[in-house]
Amino acid sequence: MDGRKTHYIKTSGIVLAALLVCMSFSVQARAVGIVSGRYLSRTATEFTLEIKVGSPAPASLIITQYLPPGTAPAAASPPYKKYNAKKGEVRWLLRKVRPGTLTVQLKLSAPVKPSQVSAEIRCMDPTTGKLVTTQVK
């Protein structure tokens, strides 16, 4: 009888461990599905970022465009919220976000190498309340 109990406990432990691993992958997959981004175009003076928002959508998005320090924006759509010349950061705060696709465009006053530009999208996961950060290269 002790052999059966030991076998049952070992088998239950293995099943529980497998279940926990599957659940962690599910949470990671969900986090990736909240928001994603990619560059539709990148030239020396113009950048177009496509952002896909999943459902349920987060209440807001914070988008940070990283540029070489001192690079100034000439125009943006939608208008950016904040610009830090020393850090080379252009930041948008998009509120009342809905599921679907958004486009953010930025024109620069001087050319830069597209490889020097990246972006970050941050939001709160509406189901867990945790901060999610997505890198765009």
| pLDDT digits 0-9 by tens, 1-48 | 566 665 555 655 454 444 333 343 334 334 457 999 999 999 999 999
pLDDT for the residue numbered 30? 42
| pLDDT digits 0-9 by tens, 68-123 | 999 999 999 999 999 999 999 999 999 999 999 999 999 999 999 999 999 999 99
| pLDDT digits 0-9 by tens, 11-20 | 554 544 443 3
Domains and CATH numbers, the chain: 35-136 (2.60.40.3670)
The overall pTM is greater than 0.85: no
DSSP letter string, 19-58: HHHHHHHHHHHHHHHHEEEEEEEE-SSEEEEEEEE-SSPP
- Rounded to whole angstroms, how far apart are CA atoms 128 and 88? 32
DSSP 8-state assignment for residue 18: H
Q: What angle do CA 36, 37, 39 make, to 5 degrees?
A: 165
pLDDT for the residue numbered 116? 94
